[in-house]
A and B are shown apart, each in its own frame.
Chain A
Amino acid sequence: DTAVSQTPKYLVTQMGNDKSIKCEQNLGHDTMYWYKQDSKKFLKIMFSYNNKELIINETVPNRFSPKSPDKAHLNLHINSLELGDSAVYFCASSKVLGQLNTGELFFGEGSRLTVL
């Protein structure tokens, strides 16, 4: 069974469209994340949710909206797609240990978004 699964794996779309990427984890973790890895391969955190509550929101355009219907799911919706949104998006999850969120991260395989 895949621990952190993302769909779709590949997404090709036109500028201006709205798209969503879904993420599910079956590890029973409390915290989920979205990361963006651009063409230069830098891995940047975008959002983090803990028990459906937003705890990290980096400087990301308002066009990006995460949604966590329950603690096993964290979806990423992107409005009005732009060329610069082309990247690989990784979902991850971790378990909260004690008072600090220091558990190891488990990543999905990534969703490659190409905006034409």
Chain B
Amino acid sequence: DAKTTQPNSMESNEEEPVHLPCNHSTISGTDYIHWYRQLPSQGPEYVIHGLTSNVNNRMASLAIAEDRKSSTLILHRATLRDAAVYYCILRNNDMRFGAGTRLTVKP
């Protein structure tokens, strides 16, 4: 079973920031927090991951709570191409996906 909880869906306006939350209250010390997204009719693609510190890359930022029981994926300026299902996963010798958050981006 997935160890993370995410909202089923979220909406955003184009060119606005999006904050996608994820709860992982049973996280263990060696679990990495991974985020993936799946665009329509494609395989999931890696977005970002972190362990304790906040992380930035060209796609997004990952903010990790101090107790590591939650995290937030931040898309700084949503585009129509960011419409996808976003998955938050705890990674430790395992890779089980939950239902994810379906992000809709409105023009």
Contact = CB atoms under 8 A, between A and B. Distances in A.
Given A45-B95, A56-B94, A100-B92, A107 B87 contact: no
B42 A109 contact: yes
Nearest to A108: B43
B45 interface: yes
A83 interface: no
Contacts, number: 56
Contacts of B36: 105
B91 interface: yes
Interface residue tally on B, bucketed by range = 20 to 34
Contacts of A4: 43
A105 B42 contact: no
A109 B30 CA distance: 30
Contacts of B45: 107
Contact of A104 (B30, B38, B46, B87): B46
Contact of A42 (B91, B92, B99): B99
A33 B95 contact: yes
A90 B95 CA distance: 13
B93 A101 contact: yes
Contact of A102 (B38, B44, B92): B92
A100 B49 CA distance: 15
8 contacts: A41-B99, A45-B95, A56-B94, A90-B43, A100-B92, A104-B34, A107-B45, A108-B43
